[in-house]
C-alpha cells in the first residue's frame, strides 16, 4: 500500500473517530432547559413539542436553587410562585388586584 493512501485513510479514520466521539459526548451531556423543564437528549424541535404537550400556556416558574438550603429554596420558590399567581389574578380581574394592594 502506498504511503499517501495509507495516511489518507488514517486521517479519514481519525476525523471520523473524532466526529463520533464528539457526537457521543454531546448526546451524553446534552440537555435542554426550556421553560424550567429539564429535558435530556431532545433536539430543539422535540423540546418545543414536549413543552407544548406538557403545558401550552407556559406558566413555568424557574428558580436556580443550586447551593441553597432546603428552607431557603422553599422560601424563594414560594415567593416566585406568588409573583406568578398575583400576575394571573391581576390579568383576569384588575379590581381584585387593587383590593389586595389596599
Each residue of 12-25: pLDDT tens digit? 999 889 888 877 77
Give the start-to-end residue ranges of the domains of the chain. 61-102
pLDDT of residue 38: 60
pLDDT of residue 13: 92
Helices (H), 3-93: 3-29, 44-54, 70-92
pLDDT of residue 88: 79
Is residue 84 scored above 70 in pLDDT?
yes
CB 31 within 8 A of CB 38: yes
Alpha-carbon span 76 to 62, nearest angstrom: 11
Amino acid at each position: 500500500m502506498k504511503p499517501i493512501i495509507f495516511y489518507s485513510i488514517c486521517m479519514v479514520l481519525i476525523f471520523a473517530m473524532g466526529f463520533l466521539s464528539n457526537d457521543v459526548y454531546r448526546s451524553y451531556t446534552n440537555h435542554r432547559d426550556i421553560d424550567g423543564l429539564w429535558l435530556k437528549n431532545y433536539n430543539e424541535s422535540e423540546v418545543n413539542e414536549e413543552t407544548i404537550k406538557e403545558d401550552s400556556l407556559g406558566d413555568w416558574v424557574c428558580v436556580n436553587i443550586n447551593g441553597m438550603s432546603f428552607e431557603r429554596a422553599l422560601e424563594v420558590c414560594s415567593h416566585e410562585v406568588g409573583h406568578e399567581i398575583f400576575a394571573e389574578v391581576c390579568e383576569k380581574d384588575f379590581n381584585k388586584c387593587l383590593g389586595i394592594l389596599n
